[in-house]
A = this chain, B = another copy of it.
Amino acid sequence: MNRENELLTLYWKNNQLYILDQRYLPQKIEYRVCLSYSDVVDSICEMSVRGAPAIGISAGFGVALAAREALDKGYNKDQMITYLNKAADKLFQSRPTAVNLYWALDRMKNWLNTHVKESPKQIAEGLTREAKIILEEDLENNRQIGKNGALLIPPRATVLTHCNAGALATGGYGTALGVIRAAIENGSEVHVFVDETRPLLQGARLTAVELVQEKIPATLITDNCAGSLMAQGKIDLIIVGADRIAGNGDTANKIGTYSLAVLASYHDIPFYVAAPLSTIDLSISSGDEIIVEERHRKEVTHFNERCIAPEGIEVCNPAFDVTPARLIKAIITERGLVYKPDREKLNNLFQKV
């Protein structure tokens, strides 16, 4: 299969990681070739790859690349493990909010810890295998999230989504968009409204592309417009993805998600979050503990290298906001729906076999 011709978020080939450089979409389809874990760190920092699950998968492959590098350098076991720890640290620091990054790194470390007696070559191969499994499981989880969430979509529905929680944010299929895909596969007539999602326009540049490619009826709007459409009764429900879900169900997602949740509450529109268990962080008790990344002012003041604001203006550019659990009707996971999410229900999710 000639995978390069498909619009894959990322793929592994000849011991190299190919990351679709999403900064250039929809104008240019270009893959960023990662030969080292540093290339992966850069790809995450610079947002060539984004979306919590996709960041996690990339980090997994980043560790695999580090092992390959160690092997190429002829390191012995101790040197390799030192190098792997350094790589994991750097990957850990690449972005602060999406917890899937830490989840994937923990998983890679766990594999290493239980296989530490193997040879450097076996370790490199094993870590590569583990990263591939993370990718495959993510795709499988998304299909299950889709199945579970599709039950929430009426036979005819208009669905608003924000940012990109689609195939391009994950190993494939998507979380929020996965639910929409599954509903359509089930025969629902769905019309999607897509927030363009400033400042980086992941809605316009990524989600709209996925929907057009699959001929799913969709309308692009400015983020500003969503409230007015709700007031006009044009939105039946809202589904978004998540970057981190605290133990009590508070959810960090792309900036603007919180406003949508408040507007949904005001208009009595169901507001759903679709995310795999790897996005749930039971180690923190509420959204207050989630670190929200503040990104560079230039994302707001410049567009396509053209300055759209006066020099000297201050900028506040948080990449995410936190939606309190009380505004979320249900969290859609691969292990089922969690209505009115709270600590107990989220804890129980992890007890299921």
Contact = CB atoms under 8 A, between A and B. Distances in A.
Contact of A228 (B217, B226, B258, B306): B258
B313 A220 contact: yes
A277 interface: no
A343 B27 CA distance: 51
Contacts of A227: 256, 258-259, 262, 321
Interface string A212-236: 1100011111111111110100000
Contacts of A228: 255, 258-259, 318, 321-322
Contacts of A211: 313
Interface string A173-199: 000000000000000000001101111
B212 A313 contact: yes
Contact of A306 (B27, B229, B318): B27
A27 to B, nearest CB: 7
A229 to B, nearest CB: 7
A151 interface: no
A259 B228 CA distance: 7
Contacts of A311: 212
A223 B224 contact: yes
Interface in A231-263: 231, 254-256, 258-259, 262-263
A325 B255 CA distance: 28
Nearest to A193: B316
A28 to B, nearest CB: 11
Contacts of A262: 227, 262-263, 266
A47 interface: no
A256 B225 contact: yes
A318 to B, nearest CB: 7
Interface in A111-144: none
A300 B220 CA distance: 8
Contacts of A209: 310
Contacts of A265: 266
A303 interface: yes
Contact of A231 (B221, B254, B258): B258
Interface in A273-321: 300-301, 303-304, 306-318, 321
Nearest first, the 10 A-B pairs at minimum CB distance are A227-B259, A224-B256, A228-B321, A198-B222, A219-B314, A204-B309, A212-B310, A208-B313, A209-B310, A224-B255
Given A205-B308, A219-B315, A221-B300, 15 more contacts: A196-B300, A197-B224, A199-B222, A204-B309, A208-B310, A208-B313, A212-B311, A220-B313, A220-B314, A222-B223, A222-B256, A223-B224, A224-B255, A227-B259, A228-B259
22 contacts: A198-B222, A204-B301, A208-B313, A212-B310, A212-B313, A219-B315, A220-B309, A220-B313, A222-B255, A222-B300, A222-B317, A223-B223, A224-B255, A224-B256, A224-B259, A225-B321, A226-B259, A227-B256, A228-B322, A231-B258, A231-B321, A265-B266
